[in-house]
Amino acid sequence: MTTPRHLERNLLLDTTPATLRPAGLVLRVRQANGAAIVTYKGKGSSDGRHKVREELEVGTTNLAATLEILARLGYGPTFRYDKYRTVFARERERGQAMLDETPIGPFLELEGPAVWIDRMAKRLGFAEKEYLTASYGALWKAHLATSGKPFSDFIFPPRRKA
C-alpha cells in the first residue's frame, strides 16, 4: 500500500458565468493529509474504455491564501466532493490503483498506461464493459436524477454527536 486510507476534500472552481466547465477544463483544489494541491485538468479524450487528460499540479502550504488568490482572479467554488482514498502501487509498475469510498459507494480507479489498466482490471476480475470514464460530478448528477433530487455537493453527511 502506498498511501493509507485518508479523507480528500475537493473543491472545483470556475468563473461566473462558467468558462472552464463548458470548455471541458477543470480547476480543482484538494485537501488531503494536511496538504493542499491545486490541479488544472485539460480537456479529456476517451476511446470508450480509457479517459486521458492532461493534469498539472502544484502544492500549497496556505489554503486560505490560495483560495483568495484564485477568487481575486475570478474563480469561485462551483462543486464540492469528498472521498476516502486508499492508494495501492507496486514497485516498478507504471500504474496505481485507488480505492475511493464515496457518498454513493466505492469505486476503483486505475491510473496508468492503457495496457497496464486493462491487464490490472482483468487480474482484479473486471471486464471492459464495467469500465466507467465519467467524473464523480457526472456520476453524482445521474444518481440524484434517479431520486428526483436537485444537484448538490457530493459530500458525506455530518456525523452526529453521541
C-alpha cell at 81: 466532493
- Judged against a pLDDT cut of 80, whether residue 129 lies above it is answered with yes
**Residue bearing the bigger pLDDT, 158 or 32:** 32
Instruction: Let me know: does 104 contact 84? Beta carbons within 8 Å.
Output: no
Q: Distances from the Cα of 8 to the Cαs of 19, 32, 34, 69, 141, in angstroms?
A: 25, 5, 10, 22, 20
pLDDT of residue 2: 86
Domains belonging to the chain, first-starting first, are 3-147 (2.40.320.10)
Residue 136 φ/ψ, nearest 5 degrees? -60, -35
pLDDT of residue 159: 80
Each residue's pLDDT tens digit, 87-117: 999 999 899 999 999 999 999 999 999 999 9
pTM confidence score: 0.90
Instruction: Let me know: does 28 contact 39? Beta carbons within 8 Å.
Output: yes
pLDDT of residue 46: 83
